[in-house]
């Protein structure tokens, strides 16, 4: 999908370089980058917040495009970043929170993008949890959604586009690493909203959950080696699933699907499982998160906690803090997406 001069696009990305948080707003039709980074040092138990206000124009007119407020935070207790985004029409908001936690390094990345394609608003949210290093997760943050938007059938056959893009991006990563001795891997749990149609795709053990009339519904199923269908698939390909503290592929990897992991690629595929559905008024919010949240916070708790906060950004922060206080020993990354149906235009009712 090629962005043209009439396309208004705001792209929001965030990730880690070392312990520093970095956000970028990028104009896809002209490739202009505005970068904002926070490298502040704080004293123990003190919380500081820096708000960065970014203005981007479309290049098509002299009018100023919407202002995107990105909140960048860093805490003395281990590399934290958080922020939020709201759509111009007020129908959608999202917040993100990513925390290194008790790990020595940060291997989680995430991505949030929004633009208009063929007259439809497109919003994309993704959580990528790296293992064996951060390179695979960072590669996904940089390339997965960009590749998806370029797929010729992104709008006309979104499920096919997602499936093919996941697998092609996996091959691209493996090709980029072919001369290294590394064997990084990563999960991907993504939610793509095209108009009012939601597509959730998953590889690995990150997870996406939706709230429907207050009830938590998992839109992805973790890819674990002891899942009966996954174990059968792995063994049919000549692999083995063994117990080594937990169920592992080849006694090594505790998930059955992933990006990267060249040495196990015959068994550990990057083919996503995809669920899709229309979003109506009874759907309230989405939670996408790495297993640093799900290991200690059940789906129902995550939805209940997110509902206690009006702002999506505050909800994402609460989830990360809750996971940490409950003893999560992993990196913790959460994205909360809230649907504001009461802001709909009466002249354009929901289907």
Q: Which domain holds residue 152?
A: 9-223+258-343
pLDDT, position 219: 98
**Is 3 part of any domain?**
no
pLDDT, position 138: 97
**Is 279 part of any domain?**
yes
**Is 218 part of any domain?**
yes
CATH code (residue 309): 3.60.40.10
pLDDT, position 78: 53
E strands present in the chain: 9-17, 20-26, 33-38, 50-55, 67-72, 80-86, 92-99, 108-117, 120-131, 185-186, 188-194, 197-203, 207-212, 215-218, 241-243, 247-249, 259-260, 273-278, 283-289, 332-339
Q: Express as a percent the part of the chain with pLDDT over 90.
A: 70
**Is 93 part of any domain?**
yes
- What CA–CA distance (Å, rounded) separates 216 from 300? 5
CA 222 to each of CA 140, 209, 212, 296: distance values in angstroms, whole numbers, following the listed order: 19, 12, 20, 15
**Is 290 part of any domain?**
yes
pLDDT, position 7: 37
**Is 350 part of any domain?**
no
In the predicted model, residues of the chain with pLDDT beneath 70 are 1-78, 343-351
**Is 139 part of any domain?**
yes
Instruction: Provide the number of structural domains found in the chain.
Output: 1
- What CA–CA distance (Å, rounded) separates 260 from 48? 37
pLDDT, position 277: 94
pLDDT, position 181: 87
- What CA–CA distance (Å, rounded) separates 75 from 348? 43
pLDDT, position 76: 39
**Is 239 part of any domain?**
no
pTM of the model: 0.79
């Amino acid at each position: 999908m090629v962005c043209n001069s009439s396309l208004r696009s705001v792209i929001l990305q965030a990730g880690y370089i070392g312990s520093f948080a970095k956000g970028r707003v990028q104009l896809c039709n002209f490739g202009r980058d505005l970068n904002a980074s926070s490298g502040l040092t704080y004293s123990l138990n003190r919380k500081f917040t820096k708000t960065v206000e970014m203005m981007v124009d479309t290049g098509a007119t002299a009018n100023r495009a919407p202002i995107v407020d990105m909140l960048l935070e860093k805490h003395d207790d281990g590399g934290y970043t958080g922020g939020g985004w709201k759509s111009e029409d007020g129908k959608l908001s999202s917040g993100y929170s990513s925390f290194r936690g008790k790990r020595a390094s940060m291997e989680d990345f995430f991505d949030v993008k929004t633009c208009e394609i063929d007259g439809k608003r497109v919003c994309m949210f993704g959580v990528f949890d790296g293992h064996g290093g951060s390179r695979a997760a960072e590669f996904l943050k940089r390339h997965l959604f960009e590749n998806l938007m370029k797929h010729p059938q992104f709008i006309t056959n979104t499920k096919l586009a997602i499936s093919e893009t996941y697998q092609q991006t996996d091959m691209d990563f493996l090709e980029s690493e072919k001369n290294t001795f590394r064997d990084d891997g990563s999960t991907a749990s993504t939610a793509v909203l095209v108009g009012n149609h939601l597509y959730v795709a998953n590889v690995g053990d990150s997870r996406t959950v939706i709230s429907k009339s207050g009830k938590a519904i998992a839109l992805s199923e973790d890819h674990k080696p002891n899942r009966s269908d996954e174990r059968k698939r792995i063994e049919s390909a000549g692999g083995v699933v063994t117990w080594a503290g937990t169920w592992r592929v080849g006694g090594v990897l505790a998930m059955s699907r992933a990006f990267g992991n060249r040495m196990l690629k015959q068994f550990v595929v990057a083919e996503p499982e995809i669920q899709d559905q229309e979003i109506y008024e009874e759907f309230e919010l989405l939670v996408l998160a790495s297993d640093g949240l799900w290991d200690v916070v059940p789906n129902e708790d995550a939805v209940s906690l997110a509902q206690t906060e009006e702002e999506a950004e505050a909800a994402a922060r609460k989830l990360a803090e809750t996971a940490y206080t409950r003893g999560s020993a992993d990196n913790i990354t959460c994205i909360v997406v809230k649907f504001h149906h009461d802001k709909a235009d009466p002249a354009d009712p929901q289907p």
